[in-house]
Amino acid sequence: MAITASKKPVMTIFSSETGIESHRVRMVLAEKKISAEIEFIDLDEPPEDFIDLNPYGTLPALIDRDLVLHNSRIVMEYLDERFPHPPLCSVDPVSRARFRTIIQRIDDDWYPLVEEIENSADKKAAKARKLLKERLMSVMPVFEAQPFFMSDELTLVDCALAPLLWRLPSLGIDLSKQADALKAYSKRLFERESFLESLSEEEKYLNAEDARLRG
């Protein structure tokens, strides 16, 4: 029998075990210590209640009483606004708009390259791999300027970047010697308790030294 959104006993997040957008939502949950039920879904065999609640059939999806959200950026912002402490985005409208623009750029310019690397033939994947590395290197001054991305405190931007950076070894991307600031930034993110808690069992291997050998 299908379960309606209002009958869900607690906030529920339908999540992929390895999807980058699901991972960033789980990091927000962990950073803000939000109590929620995480259900890992195989989209090849989705449960009936997931299809009923989310006809788009995409992950992640959030169910909170009568509310159903199925866009990871909207989910992240909703969680930050509903659970305001600790804040992951400035209350200042100008700063808030700036961070939203940065996340939009990550979504439009960086995440599609990850998908292309993972799902394309060798030549196309190699081109996407080169382009993603170039785009990361192009913002190196930002990683050098402050502990987090354009901020002294962790924000939603960092929650969007951390899963991408964690996957670089599995994507076949080696950071050059000129990327010390990016490596230090990544280390700060990866050592956070919230990031470690956000990892699914499968994601724990995506940053392993032998990730490329794992396929």
Model pTM above 0.95: no
Taking residue 169's Cβ as centre, other Cβ atoms within 10 Å add up to 19
Is the CB of residue 120 less than 8 Å from the CB of residue 131? no
93-192 folds as Glutathione S-transferase Yfyf (Class Pi); Chain A, domain 2 (1.20.1050)
Quick check: bond before 112 cis, omega within 30? no
CB 61, CB 68: distance < 8 Å: yes
Rounded CA-CA distance 160/27 in Å is 9
Give the residue carrying structure tokens 């339908």.
14
The tens place of each residue's pLDDT in the chain, 215 residues long, gives 234 444 555 799 999 999 999 999 999 999 999 999 999 998 888 888 788 888 888 899 999 988 999 899 999 999 999 999 999 998 889 989 999 999 999 999 999 999 999 998 889 999 999 999 999 999 999 999 999 999 999 999 999 999 999 999 999 998 887 899 999 999 999 999 999 999 999 999 998 654 443 44
Residue with tokens 């990016």: 182
Q: State the Cα–Cα distance between residues 95 and 67, nearest whole angstrom.
A: 27
| CA angle in degrees (0–180, nearest 5) for 112-116-120 | 165
Please say whether the dihedral angle defined by the alpha carbons of residues 21, 90, 100 and 11, taken in this order, is positive or negative.
positive
Q: For the packed helices 111-119 and 122-138, what is the interaxial angle rounded to 10 degrees? A: 150
What secondary structure, in 3-state letters, does 126-160 show? HHHHHHHHHHHHHCHHHHHHCCECCECCCCHHHHH
